[in-house]
Chain A
Amino acid sequence: MKNKNLHKILADIFPFVILASLVLLFSILTQGKLLALRNIRSIFNEIIPLAIGGLGMIFVISQGSTDISMGSVLAFAGTVTALTSAFLPIYLLFPVAMILGALIGLLNGLLVSYFNMPSIMVTLAVGIGLRGFVSYVTSQDSPLASKELLKLDQFSNKLIIFIAVVLVMGYLFEYTKAGHFSKAIGENEVAGRYTGIPVKNMKVLAFVLSGMIAGLLGLMTIARVGGVTNKIGNMFELQVMLAVFVGGVPVAGGMASKAYKVLLGSATIAVLNSGLALLRVSGDYSKGLQGIVLILVVFLTMYLKKRYEISSDKKIKEV
């Protein structure tokens, strides 16, 4: 009995422990520079897009699907908003970017749910198509963000958007039936259908949300970069997924998917990157080290989870 609780607690607090030990380790190695005010801001600058992206994708992931198109949707929405930013006021750019993203998400969702196509294939294909569009536009011209749009990259503005996304998505995911149903679909889709969950619609909704957030991120990204390049948002979805999984969200989705885990995972990745940068580890080494650390984290998470399951199984036999 004690054993089981111990393992469960360990599995739950493990991501916190990782984050805390990374913070501690890098604080010592960088002699406190990690937690200097200026650096905290730069860590947040990295957390914000990862966490927003993760919260956008959490519905999809909790249902056991993936959205590989997020980076391309981001680039697509960014390109279109950059093209229109010259003659549209900024408050209209938000709906433009988010509705564009949502429409792509709708396409993804319809293909996945009503045509029963695997989400990884659908979103991969849609992503490649969108990337083609972005490449074409940037080969003709490099659209720039308007001056007004650049202001969006101010830290205070980003923080406001971040907090808004956390509150809205966190609420939807943790405290409404949309979130509850999504997690249930990840656990057992058939059981979901048999207990009155509109499975198809929930899947569409998840991809629409993911696309909408990707659109928002597109706007924020061009504000930061100042314009559109071909590389914008490249591999972004993979970084987001990594953050989500490192935070403790199961790869197969289900009830253990939690919004706070997205924040935790994003912070872990951001601290790791920042620490390595402060130590002036060169780019190549840094990537290699990142890879090793992440594999370790994932391994330990899985190991603990397994231990927890085994010990609870044993206990059951005793009962």
Chain B
Amino acid sequence: MTADNLIFKAEKIDKYFGPTHANSHIDFELKKGEIRGLIGENGSGKSTFISVISGIQQKDSGCMYINGRPYEPKSSLDAIKNKIGTVVQELGLVEGLTAGLNIFLGRTSMFSKNGILNMKALYAEAKKVMTKWELDPSIELSTLAGTLSVEDRKVIELARALSNDPDILILDEITNALSLKNRTNLFRIINKMKSEGKSVIIISHDLEEVIDVTDNITVMRDGSVSGNVCAGEIQIDMLKRMMVGREMQGSYYRDDDSAAYQDEVVFKVEKLEKKHLLHDICFELHKGEILGICGLADSGTHDLGKALFGLIKPDSGKCLKTDKNTLIDDPITAMKHKIAYVPKDRDREALMTSATIRSNMSLPSVRNIEAFFGFLSPRKMKALAEKAVKNYEVKTTGIEQIVSGLSGGNRQKVNLARWMAKDADIYILDCPTRGVDIGVKAYIYDSMKTLASQGKSIIMVSDELPEAIGMADRIIVLKCGKIEKIFTRGSAFTEESIIEVMI
């Protein structure tokens, strides 16, 4: 292979988000006319790598080359200038602008004269793009992007990526939003690009599709490339093994390999239904059980967590705390009946980041401290905060420290400790170890084990399968808002078998 037919090359790309090493020493080469698949578990760093290539994120170190020339994108516009077209995973349209404008977002100056935008020319050009690539002509380009269906939005995003005649087209999880018709059309576009000597990078969870469509496949794991294989010579099973085949860092997870919980049911979910989010969810939670909830992105795992705490009101169905058969339909009732909920996004949903540890710690316990005439004793609140900081070993200069000054791990400790201080029966934990280092992780797992052994029940929503497998008695796998399967701790409790159900 000579350097001439390489269109893109990346050397030793590193990217950190806080303490998380999202991309670690990534080497990547893409040939002209090559279709490359990029696969890996959630959080393996695929999307990060793509956003580095397309200028959405800036790499921390490493080099990239296009056609042998150094390539240093500062923004996504730089990527477009270098003929890289990207369709990102999250919906990337400005909802308040029309579909046509969205196609030329950030590049509208080519239609403007003396500061006035020639909309007619813009729409004509947009139409041309749609026709050239034979994209769905029924999409009205003058409608607001926000009113389009999810699928049509993806088509518009595709049009945007293609509008600059890219040499490299990057598609991040696009196919699962497309119907069969558009999918076939997409594959036609991909083949057309290939025949013109242009390259495509496809990220997908659909392994069969990846094997079918691509020439070569790059597998990522834990932020680095775990292997490059030729699509024609690989089996799905092998790919899966490459994706998940890490050794379990056994020490801080549970060490038993069978489910251990009591027969008593403490919480019951009956036919929970929420339009577009959750469908026909039924399950029971037992005393002393750790119940994992897993699924791909957008499978509804986090929404389910919220619904259990009454934060999302279901259209039908109900959640019951079984000791007194109480209907849990709002957070206040849930808390009154000893249910705790630790949200995933701790800075936005959980903590008052510019307030003191004291205020944050006492927040969920305010009602317990209340005395005659609604009196809240400042002394009691202080004592509660001090005790929680001590019990949970939060590293701080004191309870008057502002939370934004704590590290991510210590913030998470505050987030958890204030619920642990409340003596709940049921803990709903949404990604309790998100963005914390190994030490804090181990600490959190330990306290989960302790809670379970005290007969408390835990529902753990997790984006990390190894964690769920390491800790849970049972795992509910969600797919498109439905329960696909419930696994019980035992021989079938492996990443391979669970991923198979997830995808």
Contacts and interface: CB of A to CB of B under 8 A. Distances in A.
Interface of A: 1, 171, 175-178, 180-181, 183-184, 187-188, 190-196, 198, 254-255, 312-313, 315-316, 319
Contacts of B404: 313
Given A176-B375, A180-B366, A195-B364, 8 more contacts: A175-B376, A177-B367, A187-B352, A188-B352, A191-B351, A194-B341, A254-B355, A319-B405
Given A191-B363, A313-B405, A177 B356 contact: no
A181 B369 CA distance: 13
Interface string B160-196: 0000000000000000000000000000000000000
Contacts of B402: 312
A191 B350 contact: yes
Given A177-B370, A184-B363, A313-B405, A193 B352 contact: no
Contact of A178 (B349, B354, B364, B374): B374
B275 interface: no
8 contacts: A176-B373, A177-B376, A195-B331, A254-B354, A254-B355, A255-B359, A312-B402, A316-B405
Contacts of A313: 404-405
Contacts of A171: 373
Given A194-B343, A316-B405, A187 B355 contact: yes
B311 interface: yes
A181 B375 contact: no
Contacts of B374: 175-178
- At the interface, is chain A mostly helix, strand, loop or mixed? helix
B332 interface: yes
Contacts of A180: 366, 376
B348 interface: yes
B491 interface: no
Contact of B331 (A178, A181, A193): A193
A183 B366 CA distance: 13
Interface in B348-389: 348-356, 359, 363-364, 366-367, 370, 373-376, 378
A150 B335 CA distance: 51
A193 B311 contact: yes
B114 interface: no
Contacts of A193: 311, 331
A181 B349 CA distance: 15
A177 B366 contact: yes
Contact of A188 (B309, B331, B353, B406): B353
How extensive is the interface on chain B, given as a class?
20 to 34
Q: Which 3 pairs across A and B sit closest by C-beta, in order of nearness?
A: A187-B352, A316-B405, A176-B374
Interface of B: 309, 311, 331-332, 334-335, 341, 343, 348-356, 359, 363-364, 366-367, 370, 373-376, 378, 395, 397, 402, 404-406
A3 B100 CA distance: 55
B402 to A, nearest CB: 6
A191 B350 CA distance: 4
A255 B358 CA distance: 11
Contacts of A254: 352, 354-355
A198 B335 CA distance: 12
A180 B380 CA distance: 14
A176 B355 contact: no
Given A184-B359, A196-B331, A175 B375 contact: yes
Nearest to B353: A188
B405 to A, nearest CB: 4
A2 to B, nearest CB: 13
Contacts of B406: 316
A246 B367 CA distance: 32
A196 B375 contact: no
B473 to A, nearest CB: 26
Contact of A255 (B309, B334, B355, B373): B355
A255 B356 contact: yes
A315 B349 contact: no
A192 B378 CA distance: 19
A195 B363 contact: yes
Contacts of B335: 195-196
Contacts of A178: 374
A171 B374 CA distance: 10
B351 A196 contact: no
A188 B346 CA distance: 11
B352 A184 contact: yes
Contacts of A191: 348-352, 363
B343 A176 contact: no
Nearest to B406: A316
Given A180-B366, A181-B366, A195-B363, A319 B397 contact: yes
Contacts of A196: 331-332, 334-335, 364, 367
B332 A198 contact: yes
- Determine which residue in A190, A195, A254 has the highest number of CB atoms from chain B within 10 A of its CB, and name it: A195
B355 A312 contact: no
Nearest to A8: B400
A126 B187 CA distance: 58
Nearest to A185: B352
A194 B311 contact: yes
A196 B334 CA distance: 8
A113 B353 CA distance: 23
A176 B364 contact: no
A316 B411 CA distance: 13
A194 B350 contact: yes
A180 B376 CA distance: 9
